[in-house]
Every structure is written in C-alpha cells, then in structure tokens.
Structure 1
Amino acid sequence: MSGIHGDKYEAILDAAYTVFGAKGFYESKISEIAEDAGVAKGTVYLYFKSKEQLFTAVTRRDCEQYLAEMQGALVQHNLAEGLLRMANLHLHYYYKRKQHTQLFFMTPNNNPDLIEFMRGFIRDYTDMVTNKLASEGVQQPEFHAKAFIGMLERMKMDILWNQDFHECDVDQTAEWAAHLFMHGCKARVQ
C-alpha cells in the first residue's frame, strides 16, 4: 500500500522528517510521528511496514528533490557558473536542514534498502557533476567530481555543527569553494 500517495502519506512523511530530524532514527517513535501527522498509529503502518521503510521514504523524497534542483542548477551555465550554483545548492541544502541534523547522523545503519538507495543517490549525484565537468572538457571528470563533492561535504560539517555559521556565510563559502576548485590555492594568494 506504500504506493498510494495522498494527503495522509505526505503528512506522515512531513511529520517523520521533523521527528527523525530532531531525535534521530533510534529515538523516534511511530506514535510520535503519527501524532504529529494527525493520524492514528495504525494509519502509518498502512503506508509503511516498518520504521526503517518510513525513514527510507523520507530520505528518498528529500534526495530526489535535491537531485531535481541540482539538475536545474546545471542547465545552460558555463563551468564557473555551474560550479558556483552547485556549491550554493549543496551548502544551502544543509543550511536549511541545520535543525534536522539527526537525519544525517542518527540513521538506521543496517537497512539494506536505505543503503542501496543511498548508493544510487551518491552515484547519480556524482554522475550529474561528472557529466557537467565532462561537457566542459575537464580531464578526468569523475575524479574532479568526487573531489568537488568531497570538498562541499566537508564544508557541510561546519554548517551543521558550527552555531556561528549563518546563512550569509553560505554564499561566501560556496563562492570560495567554486573559486578554489576552478583556480586552485594559488589563485587566492596575494
């Protein structure tokens, strides 16, 4: 029945996103998610067989939205503009989720469906960046894509854990990251 998507389904996903994001997977209870969604606990189980399946559905929805936004950011931009747009999107994504850090750090670590989905997401994300770099003539585009994403992932940690990191810092950090990637360390030496 998990293929049925309606108001209750979306309300459950929204509530699960909030509860999982605040408490993490292991500390969250289906009853809390149901209460936040305004449905009975049994209704959650009509849509999702388990808490793991619900967490995977929340993750899937979030990641699919992210990839759609990223695809839009890459269309019809030169490499420098594309990298800046990618960095902005990546870093703003995590800034918007700063209050939901447990979505990233307190997750079910042995769920094969979630692991397989995340492998696919990482592959799709890397391929998207690789294809952009390749279309711009970058040598070894997959290696460069992994390096760029890795740099952004490290900056994500500052956003999520540094309480002094503000939204205005995101744009500046994205600009520095894109510039560093395009021009290297010596470009900023004065």
Structure 2
Amino acid sequence: MSQVQGDKWNLILDAAYELFGANGFYETKMSEIADRAGIAKGTLYLYFSSKEQLFAAMTKRDFEQFLEQIANGLQQGESLKERLSVAASHHLRYFYDRRDYTKLFFMMPNNDPEMLQEIQSFMAQYIRILADMLDDGGFTEPKLLAKSFVGILDMMKMDILFDPTFKEEDVQQRVVFATNLFMNGCMHQK
C-alpha cells in the first residue's frame, strides 16, 4: 500500500471511528463517513465494500493499538503488582478516553461474522498477554486469573461509560482498588 493509500485508509478509519462512536453503527451512513474523511463515496467503496467491513477494519485497528500499548506498558513494570496496575490503568483509561463514544461498544453490527471474529481474536490475545504475565509471576491457573481480572475491569468500565460525573481521579481510584483486590483478595479489604 502506498503512503497516500495508507493515509487515506487511516483518514477513513478515523472518520468512521468518530461517526460510529457518536451515532452508532446503524445510524451512520457511508456517505457521512466519506464526507468526514474528505473523499468521494465511490472512493470509500474502493477500500471497503460494506459498512460492516469498514466497522470490522476500524475495530481491528483499535484492538491492535490497544494490545500493542498494553504489551509495551507491561514491560515497564518491575513487580507483578506494578504490572497489574499498568494493565488496570490501560484498560480503564482506554474507556475513559472514549467515554464520548459509547455507541462504539453498544451499537455495533449484530451477528457480523467478521466482527465477531475480531472480538474473539482480540480477547484471546488480551487474555494471553495477561495470563503470560501471571504465569511469570508463578500463579497457577493464569488464564482463569487473567479472565477474572478483565472481568473486574469490565464491570468498572460501566461506571466510566454511564456515569457522567466520572472523573480522572475516579479512574485512578478504580485502578488501585482493582489491583489491590486482585493481589490481596476480598478479605484484605475489611
């Protein structure tokens, strides 16, 4: 792909991200995405044959960036607790930074096989990254522990996405709480 094509491809994905995030998948028209990207609608169809294909490509790019950033961040932590804190911070800040785009997460194409495959692939990679970290920390059942940690964080993301009063300091409070809960268990919270 040439640089111009790569730039145009990214412009399209950026425009799609904004519009799908603000309006939802079903309410966003391909012509609106083309207009936002500054290209002709016909040009958009040279890159993506359907709105579903565009949504899947946009999501895949976002997932790849998420995984790359968390993998890089985990290399910075020295102790398991520091790395868990990095993972929790990355997860929750991802949603905090996108709290104005909640429709990306709740109004996506239903039953699109390509989209479902992207989600499954992302989750498998995300859990593997965390499971490897926990395995290195000497834990048994690292995959189940990784899934549990993501489950804790996913419940906390709901506050971020649905509570309009949620603030930056609330993110940090949840990061500390989730990390301590995971490291020390419920009994330590008494």
Q: What does residue range 123-134 of structure 1 map to in structure 2 within 5 Å?
A: 123-134=124-135
Determine the C-alpha separation between the residues in 1 that align with 2:21 and 2:43: 21
Alignment-derived partner of residue 57 in structure 1: 57
Alignment-derived partner of residue 25 in structure 1: 25
Among all aligned residue pairs of Structure 1 and Structure 2, give the percentage whose two residues are the same amino acid.
49
Counterpart AA for 1:48: F
Counterpart AA for 2:124: R
Deviations 1:97-118 (A, max 9, x none): 0001111000001111111111
Counterpart AA for 2:52: E
Question: Is 1:90 matched up with 2:74?
Answer: no
Counterpart AA for 1:83: L
TM-superposed deviation, 1:139: 1.4
Determine the C-alpha separation between the residues in 2 that align with 1:44 and 1:58: 13
Q: What does residue range 30-179 of structure 1 map to in structure 2 within 5 Å?
A: 30-75=30-75, 76-179=77-180
TM-superposed deviation, 1:6: 1.8
Determine the C-alpha separation between the residues in 2 that align with 1:77 and 1:19: 39
Count of equivalent residues: 187
Determine the C-alpha separation between the residues in 1 that align with 2:125 and 2:35: 35
Deviations 1:131-185 (A, max 9, x none): 0000000111111111000000000111000111111210111111001100012
Alignment-derived partner of residue 186 in structure 1: 187
Counterpart AA for 1:145: A
Determine the C-alpha separation between the residues in 2 that align with 1:144 and 1:8: 41
Alignment RMSD: 1.2
Deviations 1:12-63 (A, max 9, x none): 1100000000111111000111111111111110100100000001100100
TM-score by length of 2: 0.95
Q: Which runs of 4+ in 1 moved over 6 A?
A: none
User: Unpaired runs of 5+ in structure 2?
Assistant: none
TM-superposed deviation, 1:124: 0.4
